[in-house]
Amino acid sequence: MDVTGGPPRRTCKAEVYTAQFLFTGEIEPLGKLLDDLNSADRGYVFIHPVSIAPLIPDCVLGTFSRDEVIVDKRDIIAVYLADEVDRAEIGLLKKEERVIAYTAALILRATFHLGGEMRTRDMFDAMTTTFIPISQVSLFPLHPLKTPVPSNRELLLLNKSQVIFYHLE
């Protein structure tokens, strides 16, 4: 008897950004995607089939593909959901602030969504989750990249622990 089987899980077409690589493929959340990304019980993201594009300019690797890879969530800067239906499932808080956030590889100018009484300076301390949705995102590489990244995304799931500093626009 196969106990690992069961019904097929839902998959989401996604781009997963780290400081070194851009992974493009399908992620397979257990339940709701944002809950799965923020689960302390799950430290890794399973991506399949996947194209892996190096971002570091002097990387000796070219773009390559694998049937599946497992990526440490702590290394993920952001996740882009390619399907509008998947993006529509992500709830956004009503209060909006335009913020510029700096990571090791990307600068993100975006609308951050806050709770009603939350101050921008306290937002990362007040938010109990690691991955937070940001919208109307402009992406700027901090240095030249081997693989270009899109300059605009309507919604990203940002790993706030990858943000080195931020300020209001």
pLDDT of residue 31: 87
Residue 72 lies in a domain: yes
pLDDT tens string 57-98: 999 999 999 999 999 999 999 999 999 999 999 999 999 999
Report residue 6's pLDDT band, with 50, 70 and 90 as the boundaries.
low
Give the predicted TM-score (pTM) of the model: 0.93
User: Is 4 within a domain?
Assistant: no
Residue 1 lies in a domain: no
Inform me whether the pLDDT recorded for 8 exceeds 90: no
What does the pLDDT look like over 111-169, one tens digit per residue? 999 988 889 999 999 999 999 999 999 999 999 999 999 999 999 999 999 999 999 99
pLDDT of residue 19: 96
pLDDT beyond 70 at 1: no
Determine the pLDDT at residue 69: 98
CA 164 from chain center: how many Å? 16
**End-of-domain residue from the set 86, 115, 146:** 86
pLDDT band, residue 3 (cuts 50/70/90): very low
Q: Would strands 44-54 and 64-66 be described as parallel, antiparallel, or unpaired?
A: antiparallel
CA dist 112 and 139 (Å) reads 14
Task: Give dist(CA 33, CA 160) in Å, integer.
Answer: 16
The label of the residue with tokens 């839902």 reads 10
In the prediction, which pLDDT does 100 show?
98
State residue 2's pLDDT score.
Answer: 44
- Please tell me whether residue 72 adopts helix, strand or coil conformation: strand
Distance, CA of 69 to CA of 49 (rounded, Å): 8
Which CATH number goes with the domain that contains 78?
2.30.30.100
Q: Are residues 24 and 80 in the same domain?
A: yes
Looking at residue 7, its pLDDT comes to 65
Claim to verify: residue 70 and residue 118 sit in the same structural domain: no
Cα–Cα dist 1/17, whole Å: 38
Domain annotation covers residue 2: no
DSSP state of 10: P
- Supply the pLDDT for residue 154: 97
Q: How far apart, in Å, are the Cα atoms of 47 and each of 3, 8, 16, 68, 144?
A: 22, 15, 9, 6, 26
> How many folded domains does the chain comprise?
2
Question: Do 19 and 81 belong to one domain?
Answer: yes
- Check residue 115 and give its pLDDT: 85
Q: Do residues 155 and 132 make contact, with C-beta atoms less than 8 angstroms apart? A: no
Q: Which domain covers residue 27, as residue numbers?
A: 12-86
What CATH number has the domain bearing residue 152?
2.30.30
**Claim to verify: residue 95 and residue 145 sit in the same structural domain:** yes
